[in-house]
């Protein structure tokens, strides 16, 4: 049996590092592409090289598309804050995964504490984060698992009770996460799935950070995994802290 807890704080900075690198690569890549395009127009490429040239151009366009997609993800739109019922957020996400859950015969349990304060957040972004966690849970237990979503008042970890928050737990009964993977879950592009993009948890992590909160994961091999999202209920400095660096 393995157990581990990971905080997303340091890991989110990996995302920043990655987008820094992506920016650094995009600029020379764009000049390279423009240069090659002008060559193509200015000079006649001998027929024997024409195909190679097109292959190279396509590869460059492909790199550019990948980088742009990544940067879109790394620099999402400015959040629009409003007061949200956590119960509504969970209900919306559950509605979306409903058909998939029925298909794989997953039981869904919901447990909401009656005295749940509202949270200030971006409905779409938080909804997408919760959806990502639920989809991961479903994918981790392809048949007959149990998905439990719960929410209760709590406090932000490591603040000595000074920051009240709402804690949202998304738990599954999957085989759990291997110890060697647990530290890498929030890395952009980390995936153990054949066709996974590996961006779901990075999006969760950056969204929750943007809301001044935190994500933690706890997994017991053979039993299941719980992702806990902590969202502060009192807007403090953390909110609105992004936008510090602007795009060039």
Residues lying near ligand ADP in the complex (CB under 6 A) are found at 132, 136-137, 140, 172, 174, 177, 181, 185, 190-193, 196-201, 225
Question: Going along the chain, which residue ranges are E strands?
Answer: 5-7, 82-84, 107-112, 119-121, 146-155, 164-172, 214-220, 224-232
- Shortest distance, position 218 Cβ to ligand ADP, whole Å: 11
136 binds Mg ion (CB under 5 A): yes
**For residue 82, what are its two tokens?**
């409003």
The listed partner (ligand ADP, Mg ion, none) that binds 3, CB under 5 to 8 Å by sort, is none
The listed partner (Mg ion, ligand ADP, none) that binds 178, CB under 5 to 8 Å by sort, is none
State how far the Cα of 69 lies from the Cα of 198, in Å rounded to an integer. Answer: 13
Q: Which is nearer to ligand ADP, 163 or 168 (CB)?
A: 168
State how far the Cα of 212 lies from the Cα of 162, in Å rounded to an integer. Answer: 14
Answer yes or no: are the C-beta atoms of 226 and 167 closer than 8 Å.
Answer: no
C-alpha distances in Å from residue 32, one per residue of 25, 64, 69: 11, 11, 19
Q: Name the residue number minimizing CB distance to Mg ion.
A: 200
- Shortest distance, position 131 Cβ to ligand ADP, whole Å: 11
- Shortest distance, position 89 Cβ to ligand ADP, whole Å: 18
- Shortest distance, position 7 Cβ to ligand ADP, whole Å: 16
Question: Which phi-psi region, left, alpha or beta, contains residue 171 (left: φ > 0; alpha: ψ -120 to 50)?
Answer: beta
Residue with tokens 């849970």: 137
- Shortest distance, position 161 Cβ to ligand ADP, whole Å: 29
Answer yes or no: are the C-beta atoms of 70 and 19 closer than 8 Å.
Answer: yes
Site size for Mg ion (CB under 5 A):
2
- Shortest distance, position 198 Cβ to ligand ADP, whole Å: 4
C-alpha distances in Å from residue 204, one per residue of 29, 65, 113, 248: 29, 23, 23, 25
Q: Name the residue number minimizing CB distance to ligand ADP.
A: 200
Q: Which is nearer to ligand ADP, 16 or 58 (CB)?
A: 16
Q: Which is nearer to Mg ion, 227 or 230 (CB)?
A: 227
- The span of 53-61, 70-78, 195-203, 206-214 binding Mg ion (CB under 5 A) equals 195-203
Pick the closest to residue 97 from 147, 167, 144 (CA basis).
147
Judged by CB under 5 A, the residue of 200, 212, 213, 232 near Mg ion is 200
Q: Which is nearer to ligand ADP, 219 or 233 (CB)?
A: 219
Answer yes or no: are the C-beta atoms of 113 and 153 closer than 8 Å.
Answer: yes
The DSSP 8-state label assigned to residue 175 in this structure reads S
Answer yes or no: are the C-beta atoms of 106 and 138 closer than 8 Å.
Answer: yes
Q: Which is nearer to Mg ion, 38 or 104 (CB)?
A: 104
Q: Which is nearer to Mg ion, 138 or 156 (CB)?
A: 138
Q: Which is nearer to ligand ADP, 18 or 199 (CB)?
A: 199
């Amino acid at each position: 049996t393995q157990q581990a807890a990971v905080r997303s704080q340091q890991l989110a900075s990996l995302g920043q590092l990655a987008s820094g690198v992506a920016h650094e690569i995009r600029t020379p890549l764009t000049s390279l592409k423009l240069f090659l395009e002008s060559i193509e127009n200015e000079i006649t490429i001998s027929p024997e090289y024409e195909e190679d040239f097109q292959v190279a151009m396509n590869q460059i366009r492909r790199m550019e598309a990948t980088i742009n997609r990544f940067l879109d993800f790394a620099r999402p739109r400015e959040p629009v804050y409003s007061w949200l019922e956590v119960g509504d957020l969970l209900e919306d996400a559950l509605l979306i995964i409903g058909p998939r859950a029925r298909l794989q015969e997953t039981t869904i349990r919901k447990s909401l504490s009656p005295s749940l304060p509202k949270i200030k957040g971006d409905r779409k972004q938080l909804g997408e984060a919760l959806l990502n966690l639920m989809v991961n849970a479903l994918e981790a237990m392809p048949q007959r698992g149990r998905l439990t979503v719960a929410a209760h008042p709590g406090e932000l970890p490591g603040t000595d009770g000074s920051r009240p928050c709402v804690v949202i737990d998304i738990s599954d009964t999957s085989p759990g996460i291997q110890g060697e993977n647990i530290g890498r879950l929030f890395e952009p592009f980390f995936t153990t799935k054949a066709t996974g993009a590996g961006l779901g948890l990075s999006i969760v992590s950056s969204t929750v950070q943007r809301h001044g909160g935190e994500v933690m994961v706890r997994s017991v091999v053979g039993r299941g995994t719980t992702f806990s999202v902590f969202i502060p209920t009192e807007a403090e400095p953390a909110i609105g802290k992004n936008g510090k660096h602007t795009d060039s």
